[in-house]
Amino acid sequence: MDHGFIQRRGHALPDADIVTWVQNFKRAGGVFPRLAWSSTPSGGWLTAEVSLPKMLYSSNVILIDDADVNRGLDVISQFISNETGFTFDAHTALVGRVDYCFNFSVGEENIARYVSAVSCTTLPLMTRRIIEDTTAVFQNESRKVQLYGKQAEVESRWQKGKATDDELQAAPGILRLEVSYRHAKACKSLARRSGLPDHRADHLLVRGIAEAELGKMLTALGLDRIVEAVDTRLDVLRENHGYTSYFRQLVAYLALRDHYGEKFYQQGIGGYSRSSIYRLKRDLKAAGVLLRTEHQLPPLRLA
């Protein structure tokens, strides 16, 4: 393979179905796309992987807009065309992975509070992992969702020489929500659900799609409304529902959940039906009391 590509270790067997060559580029103050050329008996394809904010601004702390994306795709197109000798249009390239993110300026003291609030939250068909008090991760084979403090993440990279001083200075107080579609099939499914003709870069890498995915995730996590503190939850429920039998049902469910864990009903405790669980969880989330926190937290808004 020419143009400076090097065969990837692990694909050197002569009878391998897929052979991959890679080329990494570095420059002072930024990054170029990492290129990989894969060859199979039925044909080959070129993959480019890069962080657009890092490439354009030498920082992955700042957020970019549609104009930045278009400019970044132009840079990638020109760069790959120059390096490989083949005309390449990044705008029409199919997306094999996409990461949508948003930064919420909540103050460093609130990072752990938001992460703790979602530490008992479940997302359908996704496993949950809490890393110390700075990161909550929900993931499956196709999708990954992260809520994390940017300062802790940047500090970890800075200590390894992979983040700049400017990034480190910009990170304190930022809570980042990140929604990632991890492979081409997942990106194709996202495009179909979004009413797009395909999963091209100029269709998926746009603000409208990013905001829709991030907004849905805020709602799923229950963070798009006020998160009530533990010692005020009953007052909030009584204000919303009055001193009624349904108020008492909500309180009973909440108490069992707090004491026995989020999936207590799977142990037969309480004798709840699936429909009643859905209704109770829906109304508790709507009241902002399903998440557990010692401090009232303001809603997170994409603005």
Domain ranges of the chain: 1-90, 94-223, 230-286
Find all residues with CB under 8 Å of 106, minimum gap 6, and list them. 114, 173, 174, 175, 300
pLDDT average, residue stretch 133-144: 96
pLDDT average, residue stretch 81-107: 92
| 28 pLDDT tier (thresholds 50, 70, 90) | very low
pLDDT average, residue stretch 54-81: 92
Q: 100 is written with which tokens?
A: 């949508």
Residue 166 has pLDDT above 70, yes or no: yes
In this structure, are residues 250 and 277 in contact, taking their beta carbons and an 8 Å threshold?
no
Q: Which residue has the higher pLDDT, 107 or 231?
A: 107
Percent of the chain clearing pLDDT 90 (strictly above) = 54
- What one-character DSSP code corresponds to residue 236? H
Per-chain mean pLDDT for the chain: 87
State whether CATH 1.20.120 applies to domain 94-223.
no
Residue 25 has pLDDT above 70, yes or no: no
Give the long-range contacts of residues 192-201, CB within 8 A, separation 24 or more: 198/94, 199/94, 199/95, 200/91, 200/92, 200/93, 200/94, 200/95, 201/73, 201/90, 201/91, 201/92, 201/93, 201/94, 201/95
pLDDT average, residue stretch 130-158: 94
The HSE-up count of residue 92 (CA atoms within 13 Å, CB side) is 3
Check residue 42 and give its pLDDT.
66
Residue 80 has pLDDT above 70, yes or no: yes
